[in-house]
Amino acid sequence: MTDIIHLLPDNIANQIAAGEVIQRPGSAVKELLENSVDAGADEIKLIINDAGKALVQVIDNGKGMSETDARMAFERHATSKIKNIDDLFRIKTMGFRGEALASIAAVAQVELKTKREEDSSGTFLEIENSKVIRQEPVAFNKGTSIAMKNLFFNVPARRNFLKSNTAELRHIVDEFIRVAMAFPDIFFSLQSNGQEVFHLEKGSLKQRIVQILGNQYNSKLVSVHEQTDYLNIMGFVGKPETAKKTRGDQYLFVNNRFIKSAYLNHAIMNAFSDLIPKDSFPMYALFIDLDPAQLDINVHPTKQEIKFEDDKIVYAFVQATVKHALAQFSITPTLDFDLDPSIQQLDSISKPMTDEQRSSTASSSLFKSFSQKNQAHFIERTGELKHWKDFYEPISEKTQLPENTIEKLHQQYEADQPVMQLHATYILLQRADDFLLIHQQNAHERVLYEKYSLAIEGKPIATQQSLFPATIEMTPTDTIVLQELLSDMRELGYQIEHFGQNTFVIQGTPADIEGGNEKSVIEKIIEQYNHFSSDLKFTKREKLLRAMSTQNAIKTGVILSQKEIQSLIADLFHCEVSNVSPNGKPTYMTFYKNDMDKMFGR
């Protein structure tokens, strides 16, 4: 019989191994940036073309390589980091297994330029299919430039699995941010198709966080710092009011390496319990430093999942440290006499009270009730509380619904029955033998979702041109998202133009939406969109429709007029699907009179 077991050719073996390390352009970005950090660079530039499919280039001013090292770097398992097995458990560098460059060379065309400070000239290498096809001296500054061109040119099946340019660019930005966040003392820049997306000057960790995540965090970060014999924890968490519906702004590092850990994320979430809503996620950028011997970072090809020798101790430390930082934050205002600059700019602080205002305030009954004895029980009900009795009076206006709406309800209700709002959240609609309890926000989300669906399918919503166009600045990551959505948002009534870098101009908004807070609405739509981004079953348009429906719907706590209630009911039962919101929450519940009678023994 013929022997059937044989060794794979090197180029095929390399391509199989590359699949573990280089799954997309973002994977190569991570490996190349980490190599530059390990090389001692303090300036690292990333250049991208065609979302990394055509070009990923990293240029650094690190120590460079000799001619021999430059060739060796592309061999499998070639590394300067490990000399014996014990070194594997004392790893403090970013890369160490010697697979990155070999894997990149197996699936792309690579050009390398590198030079050490002591060498008179540098080395140029051109590599294809893991083979060096050209080598020559080159004039070059100290450092290294690696250009990865035409990713997966020799593995077309794998290239077909890459996502859209927007999706791949977002992965690249994610990997870039994770490295740049960990090393604020290094200058980083990212250029995509000739346009600079990030320009991150050297600075403190707080400055780097604000550079990356946006100025809104400038005065909203709580410092976290704890040193123990076992581990050190430092970094920042966002104040509770910065919590979002998406977990995008969460960064956890162990020995400066970005990791994903549901276990430690749970510890941080527990520290925030009772401070933020259950469906919200706090911002954090936390760095844990501990002896490398206490963890194993070689459990996953991307090195983003690690194992701690004693994970319970780490969990307890992380939770206690974050909780302690938040506790200090909550009592600080009573001890800190340095007012926040944003508070000092308020009229009530910066402008003195006029005599007329002082006189008016002193004569009010509310002022007297607090400044004079025996007056507390005379406090008047003000604003809407004055009319609290009106809530129990019957409503004289009659609800008028179209005939087909009543048919769709399957059971005609008497049009002269009262419709009322409860707790500024529910609408109670009485019918012949039952009543409906409608949740106003869920119902309006369904109405808007179907309206927006029609708009996307060819019935665009009218746009109201802004008299004074608003300018909005996004984070680089959200800029990529918004650019992707501009054409679809135009169908939904938003006229937004990219104004260069991370700036957009809002020229118009949907005609049926009240103007004045366009910037806030756009930011929240993007936040909602990101909230759905991890759910692969949603298309880009589906995520946008759901995000806009959620953001623009009438919220709980909003008091509706009788006309608004009637309109909402009519719109709801005109919907193709009227009983659930786009997210599957019920829009109304039915309560039958017979069941109510039984409950009361009748």
Q: Which residue has the tokens 């298309």?
A: 539
The answer to whether residue 356 sits within a structural domain is: no
The rounded Cα 309 to chain-centroid distance in angstroms is: 31
Regarding whether 537 and 497 lie in a shared domain, the answer is: yes
- Which residues fall within 8 angstroms of residue 566, CB to CB, at 6 or more apart? 399, 400, 401, 419
Return the structure tokens found at 305: 């999942």
Regarding whether 220 and 119 lie in a shared domain, the answer is: no
Q: Are 585 and 440 in contact (CB under 8 A)?
A: no
SS (H, E, C) 469-480: EEEEECCHHHHH
Question: How open is the CA angle 275-279-283, to the nearest 5 degrees?
Answer: 60
The answer to whether residue 344 sits within a structural domain is: no
Query: What is the rounded CA–CA span in Å between residue 385 and residue 383?
Result: 6
Regarding whether 210 and 182 lie in a shared domain, the answer is: no
Regarding whether 62 and 49 lie in a shared domain, the answer is: yes
Question: Which domain does 330 fall in, by range?
Answer: 206-335
Regarding whether 236 and 190 lie in a shared domain, the answer is: no
pLDDT digits (tens, 9 = 90+) for 494-533: 999 988 788 999 999 888 777 677 888 898 888 888 877 6
Regarding whether 318 and 192 lie in a shared domain, the answer is: no
In sign, the C-alpha dihedral spanning 16, 17, 22, 23 is positive
CATH of the domain at 169: 3.30.565.10
Last residue of a domain, one of 151, 172, 203: 203
Regarding whether 217 and 184 lie in a shared domain, the answer is: no
CA distances from 362 to 346, 348, 359, 365, 369 (A): 22, 16, 5, 8, 10
- Which residues fall within 8 angstroms of residue 558, CB to CB, at 6 or more apart? 424, 440
The answer to whether residue 1 sits within a structural domain is: no
3-state secondary structure of 396: coil
Return the structure tokens found at 536: 């692969």
The answer to whether residue 373 sits within a structural domain is: no
CATH of the domain at 420: 3.30.1370.100
The answer to whether residue 366 sits within a structural domain is: no
Q: Dihedrals φ, ψ of 98, to 5°?
A: 70, 30
Regarding whether 81 and 225 lie in a shared domain, the answer is: no
pLDDT digits (tens, 9 = 90+) for 206-255: 999 999 998 889 899 999 999 988 899 999 999 999 998 777 789 999 98
CA distances from 503 to 235, 374, 468 (A): 29, 58, 16
Regarding whether 444 and 295 lie in a shared domain, the answer is: no
The answer to whether residue 552 sits within a structural domain is: yes
Inter-axis angle of helices 25-38 and 165-182, to 10 degrees?
A: 20
Last residue of a domain, one of 203, 236, 269: 203
CATH of the domain at 328: 3.30.230.10
Regarding whether 213 and 157 lie in a shared domain, the answer is: no
The answer to whether residue 361 sits within a structural domain is: no
Last residue of a domain, one of 173, 203, 233: 203
CA distances from 123 to 63, 100, 116, 136, 144 (A): 13, 19, 10, 6, 10
**pLDDT for position 163:** 86
Q: Domain tally for the chain?
A: 3
- Regions of the chain with pLDDT less than 70: 1, 10-11, 13-21, 76-98, 296-305, 330-418, 515, 533-537
Regarding whether 218 and 196 lie in a shared domain, the answer is: no
* CA torsion, ordered 369, 370, 376, 379, to nearest 10 deg: 50
Question: How open is the CA angle 108-180-203, to the nearest 5 degrees?
Answer: 145
Regarding whether 552 and 420 lie in a shared domain, the answer is: yes
H helices, E strands: number in the chain: 20, 22
The answer to whether residue 347 sits within a structural domain is: no
